[in-house]
Amino acid sequence: MSFAGKYELQYQENFEPFMKALGLPDDEIQKGKDLKSISEIEQDGKKFKVTVTTGSKVVKNEFTIGEESEVVMLNGEKAKVVVQMEGNNKLVTEVKGMKSVTELNGDTITYTMTMGDLTFKRVSKRI
């Protein structure tokens, strides 16, 4: 299953508490919570390029399934990760005590990050 495409954020859950837990300042959290977000995914076999544009902020990450890569996290920190594929529609990784799962179902991508008992969820639809 190909993840390739452009996706627009439909809704998110627990954005504010999760961003606070990541250490983002309140003013950035307030600015970011209602901004439209577009994710663009390019996939070439096991290689991925992901560009997320939220307002004027653009975060680009590249990774290859099963290989160590450096990614930029939601709070702007860089971290080394190994992304694994589960089945043919789930990308899973763990970084700095957080589990990240990106799941594709039809035209919908659900991105879930879990840190302790706090879960942040973003649901985006293909445009």
CB 91 within 8 A of CB 101: yes
pLDDT in tens, 35-51: 889 999 999 999 999 99
- Distance linking the first and last C-alpha atoms of the chain: 17
Residue whose entry in the numeric block shows the structure tokens 């290989």: 67
Distance of CA 61 to the CA centre of its chain: 10
DSSP character for 34? Answer: T
* pTM as predicted: 0.90
Measured between alpha carbons, how far is 10 from 22 in angstroms, rounded to an integer?
A: 22
Residue whose entry in the numeric block shows the structure tokens 């985006």: 124
Which span out of 22-31, 38-47, 70-79 was modeled with the highest average pLDDT? 38-47
Looking at domain 5-126, its CATH class is: mainly beta
- Give the residue with greater pLDDT, 47 vs 34: 47
Quickly state the pLDDT bin for 34 (edges 50, 70, 90): confident
Dihedral of CA atoms 43, 105, 89, 61 in degrees, nearest 10, equals 40
**What pLDDT does 7 receive?**
98
**Domain assignments of the chain as residue spans, ordered by start:** 5-126
pLDDT in tens, 82-122: 999 999 999 999 988 899 999 999 999 999 999 999 999 99
| φ/ψ (deg, to 5) at 30 | -65, -40
- Give the residue with greater pLDDT, 63 vs 30: 63
